[in-house]
């Protein structure tokens, strides 16, 4: 049996509504999870919201409501976004849940038992927005003498009693981890950044706060709440059964298991320095890979509320459709790099790739069969050119596409799929079944049978990217659920379908042509 896959997004901080960056991470991780399931993997896919910390405490106070009421509302927006975008999560975790508090306190106790926690006084620079501590050397001057973090967020000098984690004791072990497992941090550019950071020396980390009480209580020190990143990172263990469900942990969080975190590049340090150190201290297995993807830029500009260019992904999904949005983001952006989007680019990419290259291919083939064969599936009698086309489609669908998903390269997967679509379009134009209808009806049927199989297998191949549209097409074509996986594509699903009483009905356009909204046209 293949090794189970545990794959997660970062959990989102609900101090505002979701933006397109949250959607991008969820969509990409969902595509990886769906592709792995189609390869026969047992997949556990987790996402959710990170609901503690000073930001939430301040924001809820400003609105005059309790923090729990505040996060209940904001978390619901993230869950609604995931559902709108067809994110196939197995658990939407919320860190305010009781089992997560239990897991966070258990990992704290394990780190304490290892001698890695001690009580002291914290004095230093803290960014409320990042929920992160920064060294003086990392800061830059802002306006009016305000110091800024590497993320450009304001920092403030903080003094309070705190529990500390002996992060400095893990410097050599972390460097050994990076050397022994070069794929632990991906892509390479992120790995190099972290190497330089750790080689520069690690200081012990403040891991509790007493200036507010919205968080997980520290065991034995109830006046302290855990530093939000101790609590937040532990969510990955909570979903895998820690600390009480040993069988689930052995299955989804095993030593040497396939555990993957998909996160934004701005939080790579927390996931590749603090998180593995916490796990080493608690004597728990480490993830296989942490992949830090890039940012999305609105027409080439970084999004910010001050610029007024923050886009609600729910609006984009309503305007263009969830599948076109998913397709554009995965096709257009090389995963790991920054990428740019605009309404014009979404419309152009959807119309050219999904509408013309694939949707039109399916529409004219299925319509032709419905009209000229009364919906009866055509009889195959393949010639070498038919076999060559199906071989090219199957190479893309069975090998190139799944391999690219395994390598966290969705744009490469889509490019391989698109090349196969282009090959099918060239084939139908060269074979011209509309002409063969009068001169060679048997050959016409053979061509249509070849196209039918190719279109079905292309629809299966692209399922992780456009699940709703591809499923609708496969349902209409009668492709059995048993054939809708990368491991099943080599099976002959067409002959049994044809030998039954299946009839193809005139199809509706799969991807109606998109137009720019009036306000952007």
Give the Cβ contact number of residue 125 at 10 Å. 18
Q: Tell me what the mean pLDDT of segment 104-109 comes to.
A: 98
Task: Please tell me the predicted confidence (pLDDT) of residue 77.
Answer: 96
pLDDT per residue as tens digits for the range 294-314: 999 876 566 555 455 568 899
How much is the pLDDT for 474?
Answer: 97
The 3-state DSSP class for residue 436 equals helix
Q: Can you tell me the distance from the alpha carbon of 141 to that of 29, in angstroms, rounded to the nearest whole number?
A: 36
Taking residues 23-33, what's their average pLDDT? 98
Please tell me the distance from the alpha carbon of residue 228 to that of residue 230, in angstroms, as a whole number.
6
Please count the CA atoms within 13 angstroms of the CA of 426 that sit on its side-chain side: 13
Answer whether residue 137 shows pLDDT above 90: no
Q: Which residues pair with 156 in a beta bridge?
A: 126
Q: Note the pLDDT of residue 128.
A: 75
Contacts of 55 (CB under 8 A, 6+ apart): 13, 15, 128, 129, 131
**pLDDT of 300:** 57
Does residue 264 contact residue 26 with C-beta atoms inside 8 Å?
A: no
State how far the Cα of 516 lies from the Cα of 100, in Å rounded to an integer.
44
203-257: pLDDT as tens digits: 999 999 998 889 999 999 999 999 889 999 999 999 999 999 999 999 999 999 9
Q: Tell me if 117 sits within 8 A of 111, measured CB to CB.
A: yes
Residue 302 is predicted with a pLDDT of 62
Q: Is it true that the peptide bond before 345 is cis, omega within 30 degrees of 0?
A: no
pLDDT in tens, 316-365: 999 999 999 999 999 999 999 999 988 999 999 999 999 999 999 999 99
CB 400 within 8 A of CB 413: yes
Share of the chain above pLDDT 70, in %: 97
Q: How far is the C-alpha of 400 from the C-alpha of 413, rounded, in Å? A: 7
pLDDT given for residue 521 in this prediction: 43
Q: Model confidence at 107, in pLDDT bands (50, 70, 90)?
A: very high
User: In whole angstroms, what is the distance from residue 264 CA to residue 320 CA?
Assistant: 25
């Amino acid at each position: 049996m293949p090794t189970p896959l545990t794959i997660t997004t970062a959990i989102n901080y609900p101090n505002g509504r979701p933006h397109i960056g949250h959607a991008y991470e969820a969509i990409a991780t969902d595509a990886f999870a769906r592709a792995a399931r189609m390869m026969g993997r047992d997949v556990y896919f987790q996402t959710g919201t990170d609901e503690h910390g000073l930001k939430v405490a301040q924001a809820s106070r400003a609105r005059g409501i309790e923090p729990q009421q505040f996060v209940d509302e904001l978390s619901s927006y993230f869950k609604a976004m995931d559902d709108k975008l067809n994110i196939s999560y197995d658990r939407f975790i919320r860190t305010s849940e009781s089992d997560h508090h239990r897991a966070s306190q258990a990992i704290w106790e394990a780190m304490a038992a290892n001698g890695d926690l001690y009580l002291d006084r914290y004095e230093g620079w803290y960014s409320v927005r990042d929920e992160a501590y920064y060294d003086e050397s990392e800061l830059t001057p802002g306006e009016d003498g305000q110091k800024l973090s590497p993320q450009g967020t304001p920092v403030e000098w903080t003094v309070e009693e705190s529990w500390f984690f002996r992060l400095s004791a893990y410097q050599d072990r972390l460097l050994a981890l990076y050397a022994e497992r070069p794929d632990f941090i991906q892509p390479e550019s992120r790995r190099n950044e972290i190497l330089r950071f750790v080689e520069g020396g690690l200081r012990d980390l403040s891991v509790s706060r007493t200036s507010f009480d919205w968080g997980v209580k520290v065991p034995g020190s109830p006046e302290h709440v855990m530093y939000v990143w101790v609590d937040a990172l532990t969510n990955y263990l909570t979903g895998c059964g820690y600390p009480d469900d040993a069988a689930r942990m052995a299955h989804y969080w095993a030593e040497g298991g396939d555990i993957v975190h998909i996160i934004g590049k701005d939080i790579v340090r927390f996931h590749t320095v603090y998180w593995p150190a916490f796990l080493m201290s608690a004597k728990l297995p480490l993830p296989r890979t942490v992949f830090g993807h890039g940012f999305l830029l609105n027409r080439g500009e970084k999004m910010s509320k001050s610029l007024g260019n923050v886009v609600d992904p729910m609006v984009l999904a309503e305007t263009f459709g969830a599948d076109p949005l998913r397709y554009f983001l995965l096709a257009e952006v090389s995963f790991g790099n920054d990428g740019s989007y605009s309404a014009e680019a979404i419309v152009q990419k959807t119309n050219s790739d999904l509408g013309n290259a694939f949707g039109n291919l399916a529409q004219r083939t299925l319509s032709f069969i419905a009209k000229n064969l009364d919906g009866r599936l055509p009889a195959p009698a393949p010639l070498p050119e038919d076999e060559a086309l199906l071989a090219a489609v199957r190479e893309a669908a069975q090998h190139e596409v799944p391999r690219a998903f395994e390598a966290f390269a969705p744009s490469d997967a889509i490019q391989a799929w698109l090349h196969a679509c282009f090959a099918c379009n060239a084939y139908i134009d060269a074979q011209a079944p509309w002409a063969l209808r009068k001169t060679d009806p048997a050959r016409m049927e053979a061509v249509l049978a070849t196209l039918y199989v190719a279109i079905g297998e292309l629809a299966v191949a692209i399922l992780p990217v456009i699940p709703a549209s591809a499923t609708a097409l496969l349902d209409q074509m009668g492709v059995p659920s048993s054939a809708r996986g990368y491991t099943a594509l080599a099976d002959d699903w067409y002959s049994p379908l044809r030998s039954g009483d299946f009839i193809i009905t005139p199809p509706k356009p799969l991807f109606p042509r998109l137009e720019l909204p009036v306000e952007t046209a």
